[in-house]
Structure 1
Amino acid sequence: MTLSWIDGVPADALSLKDRGLAYGDGLFETILVKAGAPLLFERHLQRLTLGGRRLALALDLSLIDSECRAFAAQMGEGVMKLIVTRGDGLRGYAPVTGAQARRMLQASPAPVYPCENAKQGIRLFPCRTRLAEQPLLAGLKHLNRLEQVIARGEWHDGEHAEGLMRDTTGRLVEAVYSNLFLITGDVLLTADLTRCGVAGVMRAEILVLAEQMDLPVRALDLYMSDLRRADEVFVCNSVYGIWPVCAFEQLNWPVGPVTRKLQNLVRGLLDI
């Protein structure tokens, strides 16, 4: 049986009344575990805390912290998925007053990606699925991931490792399960995520690393014209680190020096 806990005890069954199942009423974090320790865990907890405030979820963060660390110690290596929902509810959208949040933990083996993804770079697929704007949910790792599910179903070949997603106005936002960065001249560009998109944990780490490198950073609205002008492009997340992007449709980029430097720094954070 796959290692899994619900509310701190081993379990692999969920109530049909759970609002996460019925409405996507909750949050999740995908956390890399090495040597029994959850990596970048403080950043994951920070994002979870923000999500809890936005969704008015009563989260016992001390309990979540201790459970996650105990679970990670038991699993040893792999990927730990933390899901927090509003718990059981009645039929209808109105949340039950005083409902206790439910905590779920599941262990999975670490994914095995081709080493070429990190070394030589990847090709991005042009996703047709667009991201809807919802500022209240922007940045959060909430459970409503249907846009990403549909987008990931758009390609089935081995040529593309990720897909580029835009919002309904055509702005570049992110990849399907990664954040997007462009390097133009000596400036690091990333999408403004105040309307939609996920504020990734690795994205936050890279912004700090860029500041330490005295690399100017701008978070702004990005368009296809910015992609065409970029000198380097890369995507990132908290499991694989950084993948250089070498191609998108007819566009091509080298794996540049800034991407390589950030990639080497990130490897140290993830012990990869």
Structure 2
Amino acid sequence: MSMLARINGVAATHIALTDRGLQFGDGVFRTLRIDDGRIAFWQRHSDKLAQDALALGITPPPAQFWLDEIAALGLRDATLKLIITRGNTPRGYAWPADLSANCIVQAHAGPAHRADPAGLKLCVCQTPATWQPRLAGIKHLNRLENVLARAEIAAAGCDEGVLLDRDGAVVEGCMSNILLLLHDQHGPALITPPLHDSGVAGVMRSVAIDAAAQLGWAIRLQEIRLPDVLAAAQVWLSNSLLGVQYVSGVGRQIWTPTVHHAALQQSVRALLSKEWHQLLS
């Protein structure tokens, strides 16, 4: 099935040339799944979408607006993209105070992507993550670095790629967040970059952190370098389509799933069982 879309409560196939998302990438978005009429971690998605919009000074619609729009599409299984742009202006970066946001739902029907039991092959991208503290953590529409990095990943024959910042610290994957399992004298610790200056704070990153905390693991938001990745007992990538997927290798370093991987997956499923939103009966 081709893509279905709704803009501001109306079925649509086109967007205005004056939309600021098209002109400047002036907006935010989220990608998520509806599976058998249910949306996983809906409250987290809607909260993060609203927070990101407000961080850019854009007033988001209430969460119920999105649920009504998704239901209007009538799809039980689909990949969804929810987009908020600042609205329409003829030209120039400035905007009027009374500008109304454009709220867009895109849907591609079809079953969910299933995790590859062989894990994900990872490479290191030459395209760096942009340093911009004001936008750090926000899933905004300016994604050119990810577009360039994705081309590198395809050329390398890998599944995903690591983006480094200007100082060589690990920020995230091109399409995901990165999480490491390290062991010290106190036991397992889940390590992930703090994302103070770059990157997107994804919903599944927060789920993985909560799932690890439920297991009693230490949680550390700290700078990561490539040697830390290579020394990790396990490496995961997370996003809302993959879930929390283990990395099988980067370069010559190979990992296989451990008991800690199984424990984390079980903990994620336990959270999911409590955080489904039943949209369609």
- With structure 2 as the length reference, what TM-score do the two structures score? 0.89
Letter in 1 for 2:138: L
Q: CA deviation at 1:208?
A: 1.0
Segments ≥4 residues shifted beyond 6 Å: none
Q: CA deviation at 1:113?
A: 4.8
Distance in 2 between residues matched to 1:108 and 1:158, nearest whole Å? 27
- What are the superposed Cα offsets for residues 163-206 of structure 1, whole Å, 9 maximum, x if unpaired? 11111111111111111011111111011111111111011111
Q: Is the partner of 1:262 in helix, strand or coil?
A: helix
Q: How does 1:100-139 map to 2 (within 5 A)?
A: 100-110=100-110, 113=113, 117=116, 119-139=117-137
Counterpart for residue 219 of structure 2? 217
Q: CA deviation at 1:266?
A: 3.0
Letter in 1 for 2:65: I
Counterpart for residue 32 of structure 2? 31
Once the two structures are aligned, what percentage of the paired residues are identical?
Answer: 34
Counterpart contact for 2:169–2:225, Cα < 8 Å: yes
Q: CA deviation at 1:220?
A: 0.6
Q: Is the partner of 1:207 in helix, strand or coil?
A: helix
Counterpart contact for 1:37–1:69, Cα < 8 Å: no
Counterpart for residue 145 of structure 2? 147
- What are the superposed Cα offsets for residues 41-64 of structure 1, whole Å, 9 maximum, x if unpaired? 111111112112210001222453
Counterpart contact for 1:241–1:267, Cα < 8 Å: no
Counterpart contact for 2:120–2:245, Cα < 8 Å: yes
The size of the alignment, in residue pairs, is: 268
- With structure 1 as the length reference, what TM-score do the two structures score? 0.92
Counterpart for residue 167 of structure 1? 165
Q: How does 1:59-208 map to 2 (within 5 A)?
A: 59-62=60-63, 64-71=65-72, 74-110=74-110, 113=113, 117=116, 119-156=117-154, 159-185=157-183, 186-208=188-210
Counterpart contact for 2:236–2:244, Cα < 8 Å: yes
- What are the superposed Cα offsets for residues 56-106 of structure 1, whole Å, 9 maximum, x if unpaired? 00122245344344246x111111111110110121100122110001111
Where structure 2 has 5 or more consecutive residues not aligned to the other structure, the ranges are 277-281
Counterpart contact for 2:113–2:241, Cα < 8 Å: no
The two structures, once aligned, show a CA RMSD in angstroms of: 2.0
Counterpart contact for 1:28–1:142, Cα < 8 Å: yes
Q: CA deviation at 1:239?
A: 1.2
Distance in 2 between residues matched to 1:122 and 1:228, nearest whole Å? 15
Letter in 2 for 1:179: N
Distance in 2 between residues matched to 1:71 and 1:135, nearest whole Å? 37
Q: Is the partner of 1:236 in helix, strand or coil?
A: strand
Counterpart for residue 15 of structure 2? 14
Distance in 2 between residues matched to 1:167 and 1:19, nearest whole Å? 27
Letter in 1 for 2:236: F
Distance in 2 between residues matched to 1:230 and 1:159, nearest whole Å? 23
Q: CA deviation at 1:227?
A: 1.3
Q: How does 1:245-260 map to 2 (within 5 A)?
A: 245-260=247-262
Counterpart contact for 2:31–2:82, Cα < 8 Å: yes
Letter in 2 for 1:257: V
Q: CA deviation at 1:225?
A: 2.0
- What are the superposed Cα offsets for residues 9-62 of structure 1, whole Å, 9 maximum, x if unpaired? 111111000000000000111111012232211111111121122100012224
Counterpart contact for 2:70–2:105, Cα < 8 Å: no
Counterpart for residue 279 of structure 2? none
Distance in 2 between residues matched to 1:58 and 1:121, nearest whole Å? 39
Distance in 1 between residues matched to 2:111 and 2:158, nearest whole Å? 16
Where structure 1 has 5 or more consecutive residues not aligned to the other structure, the ranges are none
Q: CA deviation at 1:156?
A: 2.6
Counterpart contact for 1:58–1:101, Cα < 8 Å: yes
Letter in 2 for 1:42: Q
Classify 1:161/1:109 alpha carbon distance in 2 versus 1 (closer, same or farther; 3 Å): farther
